[in-house]
Amino acid sequence: MPYSFNPEKATRECISWIRAWFGENGKGCNAVVGISGGKDSSVVAALLAKALGRERVIGVMMPSGEQADIAYAIELCEILGINTLTVNVGEAVAAVKRSLGFEPSAQTVTNIPPRVRMTVLYAVAQSKNGRVANTCNLSEDWVGYSTRYGDAAGDFSPISCFTVQEVKAIGRHLGLPEKFVEKPPLDGLCGKTDEDNLGFTYAVLDAYIREGIEPEPQIKAKIDRLHKLNLFKLKYMECFEYEP
């Protein structure tokens, strides 16, 4: 039987799960979510507003210096009517780089901003009675397109079991404007999209994950390699188990 996704059912059950999670792990607490204006943070914020009420959602915008698309994040928060904070992480990111005492690798430079942003989200949550929402989706997690202890962190994760196509479907079901659902995610550094950096589209990846439709051999091999290399990101750190 071909795979079929029901966005109404998925949305309803996800909202119920969020309410139950907060009932057990943060009754009366606020939900803190980093807002970029892209599909993932937009959908998560919309789900949280539906589940908890917009007055219990804090959307945090965290530009690093100048952010060309910050207007998307501002507009999204206005549409949802959620509480907002803006914390510019540019100086903190620059200070970390200066303090290293060595020339950081390109990947290190890429990963410092999301880790600083997660520090900000937890500062907001701890000060404002909150719990931090993770905004990663299944497709990104599948190939490790996230920063461990950066955007891959959080206290709860509403959409990590949904592919990119499914997240978009949920966004449309929630009534989000198409501009937020289809906004191409950028890496925030060189202006490339996620798909440019990955070398394949999320549509191809999602079809492989959900339906077993294999892409061309070179792309399949790359997806399989990335998936295997990055499985550790989805696990809690391993520890030595001492038995006295």
Helices (H), 53-89: 70-80
Task: Give yes or no for residue 117 having a pLDDT over 70.
Answer: yes
- Rounded mean pLDDT, 140-163: 96
- Which pLDDT score, from 0 to 100, does residue 189 have? 52
For the beta carbon of residue 177, count every other beta carbon within 10 angstroms: 14
Instruction: pLDDT band for 125, please (50, 70, 90 cuts).
Output: very high
Separation of alpha carbons 120 and 140, rounded Å:
22
Angle between the N-to-C axes of helices 7-25 and 164-173, in degrees from 0 to 180, rounded to the nearest 10? 90
pTM for the model: 0.94
> CA angle, 121 as apex, 170 and 60 as ends, to 5°?
60
Task: Give yes or no for residue 191 having a pLDDT over 60.
Answer: yes
Q: Considering Cα of 88, then 91, then 95, then 98, what sign does the dihedral take?
A: positive
Does residue 176 contact residue 42 with C-beta atoms inside 8 Å? yes
For the beta carbon of residue 72, count every other beta carbon within 10 angstroms: 20
Separation of alpha carbons 84 and 152, rounded Å:
21
Q: Give the three-class secondary structure for 179.
A: helix
- List C-alpha distances in Å: 62 to 11, 32, 234: 27, 13, 24
When the pLDDT of each residue in the chain is averaged and rounded to a whole number, the result is 94
The upper half-sphere exposure of residue 129, i.e. CA atoms within 13 Å in the direction of its Cβ, equals: 8
- Which pLDDT score, from 0 to 100, does residue 235 have? 86
Task: Give yes or no for residue 202 having a pLDDT over 60.
Answer: yes
Domain ranges of the chain: 7-234
Instruction: pLDDT band for 186, please (50, 70, 90 cuts).
Output: low
pLDDT digits (tens, 9 = 90+) for 204-227: 999 999 999 999 999 999 999 999
Q: What fold characterizes domain 7-234? A: Rossmann fold (3.40.50)
- Which pLDDT score, from 0 to 100, does residue 188 have? 55
- Which pLDDT score, from 0 to 100, does residue 184 have? 76
Share of the chain above pLDDT 90, in %: 86
The DSSP call for residue 193 is B
- Rounded mean pLDDT, 27-46: 96
Side-by-side strand order, sheet with 30-34: 83-86, 57-61, 30-34, 130-132
- Which pLDDT score, from 0 to 100, does residue 214 have? 97
- Rounded mean pLDDT, 100-127: 96
- Rounded mean pLDDT, 98-120: 96
In this structure, of 56-60, 111-115, 185-189, the range with the lowest mean pLDDT score is: 185-189
Does residue 154 contact residue 134 with C-beta atoms inside 8 Å? yes
- Rounded mean pLDDT, 166-183: 95
Both tokens of 202, joined, read: 């999320």
Report the first-to-last Cα separation within the chain, whole angstroms: 52
- Rounded mean pLDDT, 48-67: 95
Both tokens of 217, joined, read: 């051999």
